[in-house]
Chains A and B, each alone.
Chain A
């Protein structure tokens, strides 16, 4: 009789633990997906802002038409390379999306150049609407960075939960897979190293 009670209690405890672990993994996976969606939202916002900014600085930066054209070209390439909201399962740093990251890096580099050049145009700095657009764009850059940071943080805790024992038994059983971290690519490292040199002018 007591043995039966012990077995029933143990079974209830184990089932309860399985349900709790499963729900925790689902919650974490939702967070990861949400983090990924945030990055995408900000990337899209950047695509939308750039043409506006280029349009309004065109008149002031008469001698920098080349730079402006580069910005637009880089932006169009990045739009073309962006696969859309693919979801966290598709690795951002491998295969097809390596092109995305390269395009985004080129865009960042050309934007950096444009920002640095804009410093030498006092009229431009005095223009309220250009200043606003610049603030919006640089804030969007920050938001992309923070969205990635959040994505990587949540993905890390999700991966830890998926891999650590005994949670990994549940994770394997129900097909939870590691989320890919958004790593800095070689191209992007190069872009980061180039940009400050430009701004030192």
Chain B
């Protein structure tokens, strides 16, 4: 029952040989994705979502405590200030930020997907406006055995796509106009299947939670750090010198508090970022593998990734620091060379293509 236009089942009987067989077969060094176990991936994502929310609330509390503590240390007379006493203002700050964290977690798990979509300027399109894209999305939804996600377009010449949603039953897939115009149907299918993989593995909800929660904490510490810098030019520095003169011990305590606070403010967002980066690279590999499981055709996704890699610097930038981990390839320019591998949200396209070719060989 297959025709020449159909790519669904043909590769199953004779797996297509990966392109360029002459190239030496470089073994993949990192841990391989062992199969595509959706149930395990879903379970771990569900657990991680709650752990992340808990961890971020705790980080928020600690951050708030340190802030309040520092404020108290600053404002208190040096003789009455004790470095290791429980700080009232610190407790207040801690509970305040933890409360904000709980509220934003609630908001995230209710409206997070819509926030993410509008943050990236995605607009919903109907089946009449974009029949091909809608058909490809529906094909992949059938292959994954899920309801069809809503379809969004970002009016940008950049080549990228992302998926979001708070459950596999209510999800959305967004692609750029440039992607739609550049890829052929087979490649578009590979990309959409990759996004469907994120939906199927429950990556989308986790990534929405990560994006908004981490963004929030980064925002808070950013604001504080900036206002602090302002403060130190004005009243802050004169105040410090005065208290230094009054009492050496109290001034020393204030300086220790100051240093701890700075360290904390710098470390908190970095720690949060590192957690995020470490998890999302494995996710991309798993979604690539899921894509092949859905299409039974690694060639489409390989071709798409090659085009995405070549067009990486084309068009205006889309996305931002809080949403970059959602995309199929990193949307931010000038990121790759300077940043170390540890800071990369996405594995290199070369590495991904290599793994897909390995998948074809097996």
Report which of A116, A149, A195 forms a contact with B8, defined as CB distance below 8 A: A149
Residues of A near B12 (CB, < 8 A) are: 149
Given contacts A108-B1, A115-B3, A136 and B131 within 8 Å (CB-CB): yes
Residues 100-149 of B at the A interface (beta carbon under 8 Å)? 131-132, 135-136, 138-140, 142-145
Contact between A142 and B10, CB atoms less than 8 A apart: no
Report how far A195 CA is from B135 CA in the complex, Å.
Answer: 23
Residues of B near A148 (CB, < 8 A) are: 9
B30 close to chain A: CB less than 8 A: no
Residues of B near A35 (CB, < 8 A) are: 145
**What sequence of 0s and 1s flags, for each residue 1-44 of chain B, a beta carbon within 8 Å of any chain A beta carbon?**
11111111110100000000000000000000000000000000
* Chain B, interface SS category: helix
A68 close to chain B: CB less than 8 A: no
Contact between A138 and B142, CB atoms less than 8 A apart: no
A139 close to chain B: CB less than 8 A: yes
Contact between B1 and A142, CB atoms less than 8 A apart: no
A135 close to chain B: CB less than 8 A: yes
Report how far A105 CA is from B3 CA in the complex, Å.
Answer: 9
Contact between B145 and A199, CB atoms less than 8 A apart: no
Report which of B5, B138, B296 forms a contact with A141, defined as CB distance below 8 A: B5
Residues of A near B4 (CB, < 8 A) are: 112, 115-116, 195-196, 198-199
Contact between A135 and B2, CB atoms less than 8 A apart: no
Report which of B3, B7, B131, B135 forms a contact with A112, defined as CB distance below 8 A: B3
Residues of A near B2 (CB, < 8 A) are: 108, 141, 145, 188, 191-192, 195
Total residues of chain A contacting the partner, CB 8 A: 39
A147 close to chain B: CB less than 8 A: yes
**What sequence of 0s and 1s flags, for each residue 22-54 of chain A, a beta carbon within 8 Å of any chain B beta carbon?**
000000000100110010001000000000000
Report how far A105 CA is from B1 CA in the complex, Å.
Answer: 4
Contact between B3 and A34, CB atoms less than 8 A apart: no
Residues 212-271 of B at the A interface (beta carbon under 8 Å)? none
**What sequence of 0s and 1s flags, for each residue 137-169 of chain A, a beta carbon within 8 Å of any chain B beta carbon?**
011011111111110001000000000000000
Report which of A107, A139, A150 forms a contact with B138, defined as CB distance below 8 A: A139
Residues of A near B132 (CB, < 8 A) are: 135, 139
CB closest residue in chain A, given B7: A142
Contact between A139 and B135, CB atoms less than 8 A apart: yes
Report how far A141 CA is from B2 CA in the complex, Å.
Answer: 8
Contact between B145 and A142, CB atoms less than 8 A apart: no
Residues of B near A154 (CB, < 8 A) are: 145
Report which of B3, B139, B142, B294 forms a contact with A195, defined as CB distance below 8 A: B3
Report how far A147 CA is from B143 CA in the complex, Å.
Answer: 6
Contact between B3 and A150, CB atoms less than 8 A apart: no
Cβ of A142 to closest chain B Cβ, rounded Å: 5
Given contacts A136-B135, A145-B8, A146-B139, A191 and B1 within 8 Å (CB-CB): yes
A111 close to chain B: CB less than 8 A: yes
Report which of A108, A143, A199 forms a contact with B139, defined as CB distance below 8 A: A143
A101 close to chain B: CB less than 8 A: yes
Contact between B142 and A150, CB atoms less than 8 A apart: yes
Contact between A150 and B5, CB atoms less than 8 A apart: no
Contact between B1 and A143, CB atoms less than 8 A apart: no
Residues of B near A31 (CB, < 8 A) are: 145
Report how far A132 CA is from B128 CA in the complex, Å.
Answer: 10
CB closest residue in chain A, given B146: A150
**Could you show 16 A-B contacts with beta carbons less than 8 Å apart?**
A31-B145, A34-B145, A109-B3, A112-B3, A135-B135, A138-B6, A139-B135, A139-B139, A141-B2, A142-B139, A143-B139, A145-B2, A150-B142, A154-B145, A188-B1, A192-B2
Closest 10 A/B residue pairs (Cβ): A145-B8, A139-B135, A146-B143, A112-B3, A199-B4, A138-B5, A108-B1, A146-B142, A192-B2, A104-B1
